[in-house]
Chains A and B, each alone.
Chain A
Amino acid sequence: MGLEAISFLVLAIITLSSALALVLSRNIVHSALFLILSFVGVAGLYLLMQANFLAAVQILVYGGAIAIILVFGVMLTQREDMSSTNLFNKQKGLALLVASVLLMVISRVIWLTKWGSITTIKTTVHNIATVMLQQYVLPFEIVAILLLVAMIGAIVLAKKVEKAS
C-alpha cells in the first residue's frame, strides 16, 4: 500500500465519519462543525487528485464562508437549549435498511466494473477557466439567475418571519 492509498483511506474515513456524525449529532452546532470537517476531508481528496485549485476553493468557500454563515444562522435563530436541536423521527431502521441496500448495490457495481486509470494531469486553474467560460458559459450565466432567484426567495422567506413575530 503506497502513500497515496494510505492518505486516501485516511481522508475518506475523515470525510465519511464526520458526515455520519453530522447526521447523528443531536446538537445542531456540532453538526455544523462536523460539516466543516467533512468539507475539509473532501478538499483533501481533491488535493489527492491534484486538483489543487478546487481544493483551495473548497476550503475557502465551503469550509470557510458557507460553514460560518451556517453557524451564524443557527446562533441567530436558536435561542433555547442546544442539546437536542436536531430533530429525529422514528424511521431510523428504515433509513438504515435503504442505506445498506444502496451500499450493497454500489459495492457490487464497483466490484463488477473493470477499472482503468487516467495518467494525464493538466494544470487545473487554466482548464477550469476555459471550460467554464467557453464550453459551459450558458450554464454559468444561468447560475447567475439562479442566484438572483435564491435572493428573491430569501427575501420572501425573511419577510415572512418578520410578519410572524
Chain B
Amino acid sequence: MNVGIFTPEIVMVITLIVILGVKYLAKNQFTVGLTAVVGLITAGVSLAYLTDDLGMIWGHSFVVDSYSIFFKALLIGVAVVVSVISFKYVEEKKIKPGEFYSLLVASTLGMLVMVSSYSLVSIYIGLELMSISAYILIGMLQEDKRSTEAALKYLLIGALTSALLLFGVSLLYGVTGTTNLIQIAEVVSSGQGALTATAASMTPLLMMGVVFVLAGFGFKVAAVPFHMWAPDTYEGAPTSITAFLITGSEAAAFAALLRVFNVGLSELAETWSLLIAILALLSMTLGNIGALTQTNVKRMMAYSAIAQAGYVLVGVAVATQSGIFPVLYYLLAYAFMTLGCFAVIILLSNNFDSEELDDFRGLSEKAPMFAAAMTLFFLSLVGIPPTGGFLGKFFIFKAAIGSNYLWLALAMAINSVISLPYYYGVVKNMYLESPTNNMKLTIPSELKFVVGFSAIAILGLGIIPEKFINLIQLAANFVF
C-alpha cells in the first residue's frame, strides 16, 4: 500500500490541526491566515509528485488520475485565493480566524476526497465533510442575521439533500450490490446483479436511484429546481465564503457528478442525459431571469451562478467523453472569473460594509484597474471573445451540437443575451455614474494581486488557450 498518494490530504489534515494550535499562540490574525495559505500551497505542490503515481488505485474507493489531479489543483487554488481575499475581511467582520481557516481547509479536504473517489460511500462522506464545514462557515458572521438565516437554510436543505442522495445511493447499492462505480458499471451492463433477479429486471428501481442521486448533486450545484436555497445563502454568507461555495463546492460537485454518471451509470446515459438537459435549460433560463431584477450584487451573482451551473450542465448532458473536456475548461475559467469578481466585491464590502449595486457607482474613478478587471470578468461570464469564458462556452456549445442537442445550444446562446442587462447594470454604475461619496478606498495589496492574476488568467485562457486545451484534454480522461 502506497500511502504517498494521500500526501495532499494528509498535508491538509496537518494544516487543519496546526491552524487550531497557531490560533492560540499567535496574536496576529494574519499569521493564522498565512498558516492556512502555506499549508494549502504545500498540499498543492505535493500534487506535482503525484504525477508519478498516475493510475494508482487504492483499495475500494480512491484513485489518482489526471482528472482528480486537475480538480485537486483547481480546488486547492480556489481555497488559497479564498483565504487570501479573506485576510482583511475576517478582520473587518470580526470573524474568529482560527475556526474560519480551519473549517475552510476541512471543507477543501472534503472536496479533495470527492474528486478522487470512485466509490459512492467515499463520495458521500467527502460531500458531507465539505457541506458540514460550509454550514458553519456560512453562519460565521455572528452579528448579521442574514448570515444565520443563510446558514440555517443551507443546513436544512443540505440535510434534505443528503437524505435524497443517500437514498439514491442505497437504491443503487440495493440493485447492484456494490458501491464501487466500476462494479456498478459492470453490473448494469452485464445485468448480473448481487440480487438473484438480474439487474436488468430491476431497472425502474435503478432509475429511481439515478434520479435521487441526480437530485442530490443538483442541490449542491444549485441547479433549478433545486436552487431555492442559493440566493439567500449566497447573499447572507461571508462574501469570501460565497465565492468559495460558487467555485469550489460547485466544481467539486460537478467533478463527482461527472464521475458517477460517466463511469458508473454510463450505460443508462440515454435516460439521465435528457433529465440533465432539462435541468440545464431550466437553470440557465430561470437563473438569468432571476438575476435581472437584483440590486444586491452578491444576490445577483448567486442567480448568475445558477445560470452558469446551467451552462456547465449542458456539458454534462452531452454524456460522452466529448462533454467532459468542455466542462473542465469552463469550470477552470469560471473559477477565475468568479474569484476575480468576488475580490472586487470584497473590496467594496471592506470599505462600505455592504454589497449593493449603488456601491459600484464611480468605481472607475476610485479604482480604475478594479473596474476594468470587473468589466473583463463580466465579459467573460457573458461569453464574449477573447476571454476564457467565451472559449469555455464555445466548447460546451460545440459538444452540445455534436451530440444532437441543438436546442440546448440555442438556449445557451439566447441565455447569454438575456444575461447581458444585469452585468451591464454593474458596468454602467462603475463607469457612467458618479460616486455617491468621496470616501477614498483602501485597497489591500493581496486583492490587487488576486484581481490582476485572475484577469491575466481569463485573458490567457481566451487568447493563448492551446497549452491549456492540451493539458485539460489530458485531464478529461478518467482512469476508467
Contacts and interface: CB of A to CB of B under 8 A. Distances in A.
A, B from the same assembly: yes
B99 to A, nearest CB: 5
Interface of B: 13, 16, 20, 58-62, 96, 99, 102-103, 106, 109-110, 113, 119, 121-122, 124-126, 128-129, 132-133, 135-136, 139-140, 142, 193-197, 201-205, 207-208
A136 B122 contact: yes
Contacts of A112: 204
Q: How large is the interface on A (under 10, 10 to 19, 20 to 34, 35 or more residues)?
A: 20 to 34
A116 B197 contact: yes
Contact of A149 (B133, B195, B196): B133
A33 B110 CA distance: 34
Nearest to B206: A113
Contacts of A149: 103, 106, 129, 132-133, 136
Contact of B129 (A114, A145, A157): A145
A142 B126 contact: yes
B140 A156 contact: yes
A126 interface: no
Contact of B196 (A113, A118, A145, A160): A118
Given A109-B208, A138-B122, A159-B96, 7 more contacts: A108-B204, A109-B207, A137-B59, A143-B125, A146-B132, A152-B20, A157-B136
A153 B122 contact: no
Contact of B106 (A138, A139, A145): A145
B128 to A, nearest CB: 6
A147 B175 CA distance: 31
A74 B136 CA distance: 21
A155 B99 contact: yes
Contacts of B119: 136, 139
A16 to B, nearest CB: 15
Contacts of B16: 145, 148
Contacts of B194: 118
Interface string A101-126: 00001101110111111110000000
A124 to B, nearest CB: 16
Nearest to B194: A118
Nearest to B196: A116
B178 to A, nearest CB: 10
Contacts, number: 103
Contacts of B203: 113
B160 to A, nearest CB: 11
B182 to A, nearest CB: 14
Nearest to A119: B196
Interface in A8-49: none
Nearest to B209: A109
The CB with the most chain B CB atoms within 10 A, among A108, A119, A157, is that of A157
A17 B436 CA distance: 60
Given A145-B13, A152-B99, A152-B136, A136 B106 contact: no
Contact of A136 (B61, B135, B196): B61
Contact of B142 (A117, A146, A155, A160): A160
A114 B201 contact: yes
The CB with the most chain A CB atoms within 10 A, among B16, B20, B62, B125, is that of B125
Contact of B125 (A108, A135, A142, A153): A142
A142 B126 CA distance: 7
A112 B206 CA distance: 11
Contacts of A155: 99
Given A113-B204, A160-B142, A139 B61 contact: yes
